[in-house]
Structure 1
Amino acid sequence: MAVATAPPPSSPTPALPAAPADVRPELSRRGASVLATAMFVAASAMATGALVAAALAVDDVPGPWRPKGVDLSTYLPNMLVLTAVMSSFSAAWMLWAARRDDRRTAVTAGGLTLLLAVAIANGQSYLMTHAGLKIGANAFSTLFVLFTGFHLLHAIAGVVLLGVVLGRTIAGQFSADEHDAVAATTLFWHWANLVWLAAYGVFYVMGK
């Protein structure tokens, strides 16, 4: 009589090796700074939109949008527009270099962007203090101080962020695979320049 034999035990499927513990947090953090910056930009965009909407509402009221006796020179604002455009290009150049792991070019572009950002913050501060406009004097003056002050805060924050990124770039902390802080700072600086372009349109184009 034949004796039934049990089938040979099947070999267990080998488990895939677990990812190193120090890799998982890195993957989860990647892109977090860019996402956080994008969320801030969205909130800032709503505030900017509210300021523009307020200016448009005041402009619809019968009477001149800019009160008599308020004469705003356009030389410095025009120079700020030109400087903002140049700084956005240099910031994009910095990010381009960081993505290619070209530290020397990234340092050059970052240093140029930082210098332009300091010039913008300094020019905006001078513009606010020498315009002779005060909150509460009239709708135009109030919105001018609020809007330009809002941009000045962005410019100062941009100077700080660009300085930190430049220092980290010099220290070699960025590479082609790790440059999220550069991307986030570039995004923020582009938006800061757009805030100024919005203010420029309200007070120096629409406000003529």
Structure 2
Amino acid sequence: MIRVLLADDQTLVRAAFAMLVESAPGMAVVGQAGTGREAVELARSARADLVVMDVRMPDVDGIEATRLIAADEDLAGVKVLVLTTYDTDENIVEALRAGASGFLVKDTRPAELLDAIRTVAAGEALLSPGPTARLIERFLRTPAAPVAGGPECLSEREREVLALVARGLNNTEVADVLGLSPLTAKTHVSRIMGKLGARDRAQLVIVAYESGLVRPGSM
């Protein structure tokens, strides 16, 4: 069961998302927050697995709330799926840097939201790799390293895997490209995350671009 917390300052939006999530098998809404600060508090008290987080909220915005969740050791397993009004919102890059695992635009189809929740909760792949990569290419201009290390600490094979992850490939696709088994690809990704101190694949994408391992336009 995926325990979902909904954070949005619009009551009707939260109610609509709640109805959708509750209708899906294997999911439950464990709380609703109207501000970023409330989202952080409820993430802890409601023992959420995933927070669907709006960017623009009063008190503490979604980016800062995401940063607070990512920095809290007690919330280490909590994933954040950020919502934005437009897929060109530069705040999304800052949200990814802050620790978000992916993003969605608010006008996404209901089935896509549910798939996104499952994907991000599982930690298998960065959500919407194409739009995410375009955002990174457009807005990643000022270095702000989100992880402790860099690609120089990786082996040649691990650098190849990281480059493919940054292009939006999941473990199975990485395995196909490199002629590996999916389990081996998954092991490489886990090892890379450990070496770089990254909490999820979203941070791997950021560090790959910021280090120059993957360059804008190379998709």
What TM-score results when the alignment is normalised by the length of structure 2? 0.24
Bigger RCO of structures 1 and 2 (CA < 8 A, at least 6 apart): 1
Higher radius of gyration, 1 or 2: 1
What TM-score results when the alignment is normalised by the length of structure 1? 0.25
Query: When you count helix as a share of all residues, which structure comes out higher?
Result: 1
